[in-house]
Amino acid sequence: MNLAPLPRLVFEPAVRTALAEDLGLAGDITSAAVIPSDHRSRFALAARKPGVIAGLDVAELAFALVDPAISLTRNVEDGAKVGAGDVIALVEGPSRGLLTGERTALNFLGHLSGIATVTAGIVEAIAGTTASVVCTRKTTPGLRALEKYAVRAGGGMNHRFALNDAVLIKDNHIAVAGSISEAIRRAKAGVGHMVKIEVEVDTLDQLREAMDVGVDAVLLDNMTPELLRDAVSFVAGRAITEASGGITPATAAKIAASGVDLLSVGRLTHSAPCLDIGLDWS
């Protein structure tokens, strides 16, 4: 997998905030009281369950910000599939720093690996179709860049990062504007020629109205696989087709078989369970 690393500048503020939250006003009083200051240790970051790894750079930074003398040696890279019991990486250095940074590092690594794992499951479910899996803006506030990176680590693609990336006309925009046609016309008049326009539709009649005016993509919301096939046939390649609405690993294959280009899945970031990863004495 050709996975571009996330720049440290992007995720360092989140790691610093998480460490500050955990250290509080007095720091790690347990490690300071129990562990001699000159003691050194080596621990293994090990997977408790099978999954896909994401967030090693973030975990490494969490340890390094606590104590620059801590080193992390990887056995795998982000995007790798691991089994239960597999050692992901070894961390070694001053014991106090290792134990102080443990929870923050594991919180990020487990959360992001959970997202990558759920994404990989849906990617696998639709293998053999022409569809791709994309995420949404249903992300944890402050962690969007990291969570969308984890989606890529799992083999998915990213939708909008922010409201200024593209125009996405949804039902409330249409209600305020008065009609799909009017909303699209206003969007075309209000943005530059480089900005793509997508509109959400629930019925074939709405789809016809949108295509009559012309858009770059259509978000086919909560349509059955049968209705999706009709919609894809009507669009006939004139716009990107994106299915959305409660897509799960169990329903993804039928939805992808309709011929849509994209499956938009909010659960990738808002409902993915944490991948259980532990820090074991080595």
Q: Just list the catalytic residues.
A: 103, 138, 170, 200, 221
Who's near 26: CB < 8 A, 6+ residues apart? none
CB under 8 A, 24+ apart: contacts of 175-184: 179/209, 180/206, 180/209, 180/210, 180/213, 181/209, 181/210, 181/212, 181/213, 184/210, 184/213, 184/214, 184/215
Who's near 192: CB < 8 A, 6+ residues apart? none
How many other CB atoms are there within 10 angstroms of residue 42's CB atom? 14
Distance CA 31, CA 66 (A): 13
68, 33 Cβ separation under 8 angstroms:
no
- Please report, as a single letter, which amino acid is at residue 260: V
Distance CA 189, CA 272 (A): 39
Indicate the SS3 state at residue 90: strand
Distance CA 6, CA 98 (A): 23
Tokens of 248: 């799960």
Tokens of 191: 């943005």
Residue with tokens 């606590």: 66
Distance of CA 56 to the CA centre of its chain: 15
- Please report, as a single letter, which amino acid is at residue 57: D
